[in-house]
């Protein structure tokens, strides 16, 4: 299994343990037992069911070694073929999802027709036993979910994150562009550590806003969001895993589970947008300036009916007791990145978006992992074993023609010499 697949499996395992990453005691095992009753769709493996002890070992390994501790180990029976392969199991699940009442005999015939099995392999009994053990037949009806009101005991224990469609504002020239409010509400205080109107609802835009929020307010223990493309991004999952922030997604179409952020969006519409005096000349910068002013002087300083006090007072009082985890700008730049794979040419260069960049001679002929911060695509680093080794330099053909002295690379501009 290559490094990319191993990293995807490790990220999946992190996502499973994330909800109890910062919990202790009985709550952990109750959650693990609940997860053990389900079938999980593991990347590159298929549907699998695990014992509670397996989840507990993942949590222990993550706390000890970080994301590297969740990398899969090679199976002792690697290379041997089992009757029901992961591909067959996945396809059986797909067929049963589309045709819940199909008989096992007919299902087996479909697998034979698709070339997944031969007529003398995987008997009806074997497939029926696999369906039963893996619980692949979907339930006929969804049972109603009971909900309970809850509140986290401290600030930064949980931020609920979401996007809201905002007004159109003046863009380049005379055009008007759509805006999206990225917001995170602190569960304990209802304070808003993140609130910014963006021109897109992409991961890149969201990551820049998250970086600012993390620098100002420290790291939350958990981020709770829906399954939108920005929130389901593998880059966001990796960033949270490396920061030790539990990233948890709600069930699809389950907006009531995110009731606190939905209520805040209702407040934005009824108390901010209706009185913001927006017109055709309003720019994105002006919209955010008005929104910041409204947060500071209205929302944060008004008594919230959910907590019976002002969000700002409750948030600051709790932070004084809990000491939020802080990170530096440099740490965040190396966490919120884009990753590229390039093979270093014989002249020790790589091409990225049409530009040539020089690499150390040690990497010649090798495929390297290159990362750059989302907001600075020219700040390129070669990573090895999860750590930056050097910063790349743009090729200077004239300078290279003047000297044959090898270039010295470092992580910092002021240390580079030619």
Please write the tens of the pLDDT for every residue from 218-236: 999 999 998 888 998 888 9
Q: How many CB atoms lie within 10 A of CB 299?
A: 22
For residues 190-214, give the mean pLDDT. 93
Burial class (CB in 10 A: 0-12, 13-18, 19+), 273: middle
pLDDT exceeds 60 at position 1: no
- Within 10 angstroms of residue 382's Cβ, the number of other Cβ atoms is 23
pLDDT of amino acid 79:
46
Of residues 6 and 240, the one with the higher pLDDT is 240
pLDDT tens-place string over residues 157-197 = 999 999 999 999 988 767 889 999 999 999 999 999 999 99
Using pLDDT thresholds of 50, 70 and 90, give the confidence band for residue 345.
Answer: very high
Percent of the chain with pLDDT over 70: 87
Task: Select from 160, 154, 181, 155 the least CA-distant residue to 257.
Answer: 160
Edge-to-edge order in the sheet of strand 355-358: 349-352, 355-358, 393-394
Between CA 248 and CA 259 the distance in angstroms is: 15
| 402 pLDDT tier (thresholds 50, 70, 90) | low
Q: Is the pLDDT of residue 76 over 80?
A: no
For the beta carbon of residue 284, count every other beta carbon within 10 angstroms.
Answer: 17
Structural tokens at position 17? 């343990």
Q: Going by C-beta distance under 8 Å and a sequence separation of 6 or more, which residues neighbour residue 74? A: 1
Which among 16, 18, 11, 22 has a CA at the least distance from the CA of 68? Answer: 11
Per-residue b or e along 195-234, where b marks 16 or more CB atoms closer than 10 Å to that residue's CB: bbbbeebebebbbbbbbebbeebbbbbbbbbbeeebbebe
pLDDT in tens, 94-107: 888 777 778 888 88
pLDDT above 60 for 405: no
CATH 1.10.10 in the chain: give the residue spans: 86-134
List the alpha helices (DSSP H) in 329-396: 329-335
The strand pair at 222-225 and 159-165 is best described as parallel
Q: Between 1.10.10, 2.20.28, 2.40.10, 1.10.3470, what CATH number should domain 86-134 receive?
A: 1.10.10
Convert the pLDDT of each residue in 40-72 to its tens digit: 988 888 888 998 889 999 998 998 888 888 988
In Å, how far are 101, 117, 222, 402 from 91, measured between CA atoms? 16, 11, 34, 62
Radius of gyration (C-alpha) of the chain in whole angstroms: 26
pLDDT for 373 equals 78
Residue limits of CATH 3.30.420.10 in the chain = 159-330
> Does residue 202 surpass a pLDDT of 50?
yes
First to last CA, the chain: 40
What is the model's pLDDT at position 414? 45
Report pLDDT for 268: 94
- Over residues 293-298, the mean pLDDT reads 95
CB contact set of 161 (below 8 Å; sequence gap of 6+): 182, 183, 184, 194, 223, 224, 225, 231, 261
Residue-level pLDDT at 167: 93
CATH 3.40.50.300 is right for the domain spanning 159-330: no
Give the pLDDT confidence score for residue 89 in this predicted structure.
84
């Amino acid at each position: 299994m290559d490094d990319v697949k191993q990293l995807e499996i490790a990220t999946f395992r992190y996502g499973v343990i994330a909800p109890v990453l910062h919990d202790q005691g009985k709550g952990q095992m109750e959650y693990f037992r609940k997860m053990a009753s389900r079938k999980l769709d593991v990347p590159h493996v298929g549907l699998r069911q695990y014992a509670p002890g397996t989840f507990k070992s993942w949590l222990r390994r993550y706390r000890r070694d970080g994301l590297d501790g969740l990398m899969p180990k090679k199976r002792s029976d690697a290379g041997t073929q089992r009757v029901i392969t992961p591909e067959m199991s996945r396809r059986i699940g797909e067929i049963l999802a589309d045709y819940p009442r199909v008989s096992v005999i007919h299902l087996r015939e479909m697998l034979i027709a698709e070339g997944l099995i031969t007529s003398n392999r995987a008997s009806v009994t074997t497939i029926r036993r696999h369906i039963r053990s893996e619980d692949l037949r979907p339930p006929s009806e969804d049972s109603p979910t009971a909900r309970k009101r809850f509140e986290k005991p401290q600030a930064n224990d949980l931020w609920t994150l979401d996007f809201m469609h905002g007004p159109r504002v003046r863009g380049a020239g005379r055009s008007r562009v759509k805006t999206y409010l990225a917001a995170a509400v602190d569960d304990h205080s209802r304070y808003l550590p993140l609130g910014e109107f963006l021109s897109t609802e992409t991961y890149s835009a969201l990551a820049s806003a998250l970086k600012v929020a993390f620098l100002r307010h420290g790291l939350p223990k958990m981020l709770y969001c829906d399954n939108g493309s920005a929130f389901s991004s593998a880059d966001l999952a990796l960033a949270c895993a490396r920061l030790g922030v539990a990233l948890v997604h709600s069930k699809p179409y389950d907006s009531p589970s995110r009731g606190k952020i939905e209520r805040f969006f209702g407040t934005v519409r009824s108390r901010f947008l209706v009185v913001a005096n927006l017109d055709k000349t309003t720019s994105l910068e002006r919209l955010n300036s008005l929104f910041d002013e409204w947060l500071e002087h209205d929302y944060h300083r008004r008594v919230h009916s959910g907590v019976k006090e002002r969000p700002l007072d409750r948030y600051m009082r709790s932070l004084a007791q809990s000491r939020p985890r802080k990170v530096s700008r440099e740490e965040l730049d190396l966490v919120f990145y884009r990753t590229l794979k390039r093979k270093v040419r014989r002249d020790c260069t790589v091409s990225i978006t049409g530009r040539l960049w020089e690499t150390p001679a040690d990497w010649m002929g090798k495929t390297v992992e290159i990362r750059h911060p989302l907001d600075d695509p020219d700040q390129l680093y070669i990573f090895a074993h999860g750590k930056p080794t050097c910063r790349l330099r743009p090729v200077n053909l004239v300078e290279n023609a003047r000297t044959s002295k090898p270039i010295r690379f470092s992580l910092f501009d002021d240390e580079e010499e030619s």
